[in-house]
Structure 1
Amino acid sequence: MSLDYLKRILTSRVYDVARETELEIAPALSARTGCTVLLKREDTQPVFSFKLRGAYNKMAGLDARELRRGVIAASAGNHAQGVALAAARLDCKAVIVMPVTTPQVKIDAVRTFGGDRVEIILGGESYSEAKALADVLAAQRKLVFVHPFDDPDVIAGQGTIGMEILRQHAGPIDAIFVAIGGGGLISGIAAYVKAVRPQIRIIGVQASDSDAMAQSIDAGRRVVLKDVGLFCDGTAVKQVGKETFRLCRELVDEIIRVDTDAVCAAIKDVFQDSRSILEPAGALAIAGMKAWVAKNAARQKTVVAVACGANMNFNRLRFVAERAEVGESREAVLAVTIPEQRGSFLRFCDALAGHDITEFNYRIADIEQAHLFVGLQVKDHADRARVMRALRKDGFATLDLSNDELAKQHLRHMVGGRSASAESELLYRFEFPERPGALLRFLSAMSPDWNISLFHYRNEGADFGRILVGIQVPAADMAKFRKFLDGLGYPHCDESANPAYRLFLRG
């Protein structure tokens, strides 16, 4: 079986359209992990994904009669773009069925690559429904179906990646990490590598909420997931292929599951090393490699991670940036309760000495206690535990929310509301140069003469930090308060008359 795939891979015609991508060292990741980390840069393909290899190899192998009939594919992204470019190069008509939920940017990309050779049909809410429609159209129009993963020619096309890796790095390789959706990519790479250098471990990586292959191997049969997570949409497959399941059972050494935060951290890692932004599925292998190194305390190993795609939805970048620090265990998200009394704020800040605050949300609600939502930069899990012990030692009840999806996804944006306790409240926006410790210095500069009733801050990586503060100032103290603002030295803006503030926050 492996020798059959070896021949298929060696005779694949992918290089009519694909390029041999770089295998390059990731210096920062290597330094942090203590291993030599090599990235196989499939994100630099013409369609920014490896999918072009398999799609073109399948279509280039069709005879003239089949090409005249045309091909059909179901896909919401990378496979569609690969089929479209292959159709344009082979002068072949292609029908691409895409779910109605497909972002316009991906639809436009398919049109760009395929030109007038491609017909796009939007149908179904998911890939499964689009695939069902494609099957019907294939039968009606007598079109050749180009499967995204469960086809020997597609698998062989993806296998050329394994061939390139071994040619580009003749030295020892301890493990190759590959993302798994339907299984075509890892099946092709494993078929080649295990035939040529079987001592290299092939390790698959799946999103923990889209782990059809891992569950199937555990069960000894192909399982169908009821639901799949959509963050790593490029690998969100409910059922793996028959052939890919067979190959993975035989050739894949291990499968690792990673969560969303770990994927976001991996996207950031690759950006820091290469200034390239991978899509979530494209960063799965890097996230799995990091998890494997940490779990096995691996040092001085040589590992390869396939960066398999960069078709990132731009609107996701805000989410990725927000979750990356938590995924790397470099941000702790905490709920802290402090007494609602003068001096508590400063005692709280003193307890955080040496740790930069990444987020701070507070709204007065109780005359006796204040509940703070706080993000902190930490070194690792142990440092997070030390911070929590210090806070509790100072009498501040502390709850760790670093792994709480509700808190990270929703509650952090909802801390606030109207408060009957916020009498004589003024609302001000402040700006200050964003430097290490800048927020703590700002808090220390706030006068203890007036109570802080609202506070919101989030480090967004900009040159200037922006803070929203509610301060309870009696009318008799207004002259003193204005003098205080003038001496504070930070640009500020009075938002007390803002209609949105009065609608949502004013007591």
Structure 2
Amino acid sequence: MTEFALSTLAATRALRALFEPTPLQRNDHLSARYGADIWLKREDLTPVRSYKIRGAFTAMRKLRERDPNAGHFVCASAGNHAQGVAFACRHFGVKGTIFMPVTTPQQKIAKTRTFGGDAIEIVLTGDYFDQTLAASQTFCSEAGAHFLAPFDDASVIEGQASVGVEILDQLGKAPDVVILPVGGGGLAAGVTGYLRATAPETEYRFVEPVGGASLTAAIAAGHLVTLDQVDSFVDGASVARIGALPYERLDWIVPEQILRAPEDRICVTMLEMLNVEGIVLEPAGALSVDVLPELADQIRGKTVVCVTSGGNFDFERLPEVKERAQRFSGLKKYFILRLPQRPGALREFLTMLGPDDDIARFEYLKKSARNFGSVLIGIETKAAENFTLLETKLDEAGFTYRDISSDPILAEFLI
């Protein structure tokens, strides 16, 4: 057994002072759908509802072992890492200063404060995370505190690797395939580092959001790459640059092992897991389940473990998730319709709607036109093919319209 595997076993034992192993649950619904033996490693059920507590605790424990006087820790995070650090600070009875962007939702701030209690201080600074990170590192240096990185740290990777230890112990055998979400890369580097040493026959698939595919870019280029733009929707995995140390430990990956999940499709998966299974997953936590349809032919008859990495979902975002899911599934569209300014024009349009078509939004965009008025109209339906029928009717009646559902610029300003 490798030195990393041995140290991971020690880290896993130490974690039991904090919480019991998260459940590894066979999912009958997914297993039946894909003809496979599919298990969910429920990292959404840790005390802070994400795996991040493992790395934060392990890094803090090892620092204190090397320096018993270490009593002040600093991190920068808008979410799960902050909550993990806060929980660990309270456990060890040390001081924590947690920097969060000013734009962080109050729900996440409140949860971080709950987990840390009197042990932590939250500093809100910076509109963007890079500003927050720079402020935290400056403060850390001036205060003589210890900075806890979210993923680019050997002890953090060791802590995240404990997920792999629990998978083997709970399953009682090596899984055929493990599907891992990737953001900064700490979880993927840790779990594969342990399992490749103890279960060499296991295969891996890695999942990134389309709008934050930094591992894909790095593997393609053969070196670290910083993405020019990142879609922040999958906030737990939207990282512009994978960590240097995780990348170093993942450089054996080939492009065929990486999948990219569209943000809107992730919303479909989140809603299905909530409505069918009663499982609340944040966007990053749904990544491993989201790609199962793409892997259907590869996993049939196999034992598959999907790591659901987190469940810190703010239900105020549910309307947005539903909206994006409907648009991805073709059940909701937005049109700009040129409506003739004559009596009966609106009634004529309404008669074209089918029994399953509902108007979800209706707004005049141009109210001063003499001959035509531009209307923003949102329509929900029960089957995607209903829109084909509607558009055929519009064309036959000579209506001028434009589908803006997939136009990112217009959708941002109008929808």
Q: Which TM-score tier does this pair reach, normalised by the shorter chain?
A: 0.7 to 0.9
Q: 1:47 Cα deviation (Å)?
A: 0.8
- Residue in 2 that maps onto 1:74: 76
Residue 20 (structure 1) aligns with:
21
The match for 1:205 is: 207
Residue of structure 1 equivalent to 2:61: 60
Cα gap change, 1:338 to 1:35, in 2 (>3 Å): farther
Task: Name the aligned partner's letter for residue 406 of structure 2.
Answer: N
Structure 1 pair 372–137 and aligned structure 2 pair: CA distance change class (3 A): closer
The change in CA–CA distance for 1:340 and 1:122 in structure 2 (over 3 A counts) is closer
Q: How far apart in 2 are the matches of 1:279 and 1:197? A: 29
2:96 paired with 1:94:
yes
Match of 1:6 in 2: 5
Determine if contact 2:232/2:238 at 8 Å carries over to the other structure: yes
Q: Could you tell me which amino acid in structure 2 is paired with residue 7 of structure 1? A: L
Does the 8 Å CA contact 1:85/1:113 hold for their aligned counterparts?
yes
After superposition, the Cα gap between the structure-2 partners of 1:301 and 1:387, relative to the gap in structure 1 and judged at 3 Å, is farther
Aligned to 1:185: 187
Query: Residues 261 and 51 of structure 1: is their aligned pair in 2 closer, same or farther, counting only changes over 3 Å?
Result: same
Counterpart in the other structure of 1:161? 163
Instruction: Indicate conservation of the 8 Å contact 1:337/1:372, yes or no.
Output: no
Aligned 1:418-429 pairs, distance under 5 A:
none
**CA separation of 1:355 and 1:125: change in aligned 2, threshold 3 A:** same
Unmatched 5+ stretches in structure 1: 413-507
Shift of 1:183: 0.6
| Count, aligned residues | 408
Counterpart of 2:217 in structure 1 is 215
Change (3 A) 1:40 1:150: same
Structure 1 residues 304 and 345: CA distance shift in structure 2, 3 A: farther
1:105 shift after superposition? 2.7
Mapped to 2, the partners of 1:353 and 1:396 lie a distance apart of: 17
**1:497 aligned partner:** none
Range that drifts further, 185-194 or 345-354: 345-354
Q: 1:355 to 1:153 in 2, by over 3 A?
A: same
SS at match of 2:240: coil
Say which is worse superposed, 66-75 or 250-259, in terms of deviation: 250-259
Contact 2:101 2:132 (C-alpha < 8 Å) held by counterparts: yes
Helix, strand or coil at the partner of 2:88: helix
Deviation for aligned residue 1:55: 0.8
Between the aligned partners of 2:52 and 2:20, the Cα distance in structure 1 is 12
Map 1:297-446; keep pairs closer than 5 Å: 302-334=303-335, 352-353=353-354, 355-357=356-358, 359-361=360-362, 363=364, 367=371, 373-379=377-383, 385=388, 388-389=391-392, 392=395, 399-412=402-415
For residues 173 and 80 of structure 1, the distance between their equivalents in structure 2, rounded to whole angstroms, comes to 31
Deviation at 1:184, TM superposition (A): 0.4
Counterparts of 1:220 and 1:98, CA distance in 2: 33
Mapped partners of 2:75, 2:376: distance in 1:
51
Distance between the aligned counterparts of 1:336 and 1:344, measured in 2?
A: 11
Bigger relative contact order (CA 8 A; separation at least 6)? 2
Q: Counterpart of 1:137?
A: 139
Counterpart CA distance in 1 for 2:47 and 2:154 is 23
- Partner Cα distance (1:19, 1:297) in 2: 33
53 and 264 in structure 1: CA distance in 2 versus 1, 3 angstrom threshold: same
Partner of 1:249: 251
State the Cα distance separating 1:107 from its structure 2 match: 2.6
Partner-residue secondary structure (3-state), 1:61:
helix
* Alignment TM-score, normalising by the size of structure 1: 0.70
Per the alignment, in what secondary structure is the counterpart of residue 184 of structure 2?
A: coil
Measure how far apart 1:391 and its partner are.
5.3
Q: Pick which of 206-215 and 352-361 moved more.
A: 352-361
Shift of 1:182: 0.8
Aligned to 1:287: 290
Structure 1 residues 369, 233: closer, same or farther in 2, change over 3 A? closer
Cα gap change, 1:390 to 1:164, in 2 (>3 Å): farther
* Residue type of the alignment partner of 1:203: R
Q: Which residue of 2 aligns with 1:493?
A: none
Contact 2:336/2:374, CA 8 A, preserved across alignment: no
Candidates 276, 283, 291, aligned match of 1:273: 276
TM superposition shift of 1:245? 0.6
Q: 1:232 maps to which residue? A: 234
Q: For 1:230 and 1:76, how far apart are their aligned partners in 2?
A: 12
- Please say if 1:41 is aligned against 2:42: yes
Relative distance call for 1:368 and 1:357 in structure 2 (3 A) is same
Q: Give, in angstroms, the shift of residue 250 of structure 1.
A: 1.7
* 1:88/1:113 contact within 8 Å kept: yes
- Root-mean-square deviation (CA), in Å? 3.3
Kindly indicate whether the alpha-carbon contact (under 8 Å) linking 1:230 and 1:236 is maintained by their aligned counterparts in 2.
Answer: yes
3-state DSSP of counterpart to 2:3: helix
Structure 2 residues not aligned, in runs of 5+:
none
1:264/1:91 CA distance change after superposition, 3 Å: same
Q: Deviations over 1:65-91 (max 9, x none)?
A: 624232222222211111111121122
Does structure 2 conserve the Cα–Cα contact (< 8 Å) formed by 1:222 and 1:245? yes
Q: Structure 2: how far apart are the matches of 1:300 and 1:366?
A: 65
Cα offset, 1:263, TM superposition: 2.1
Name the CA distance, whole Å, in 2 between partners of 1:369 and 1:313: 39
Q: State the TM-score, normalized to the length of structure 2.
A: 0.84
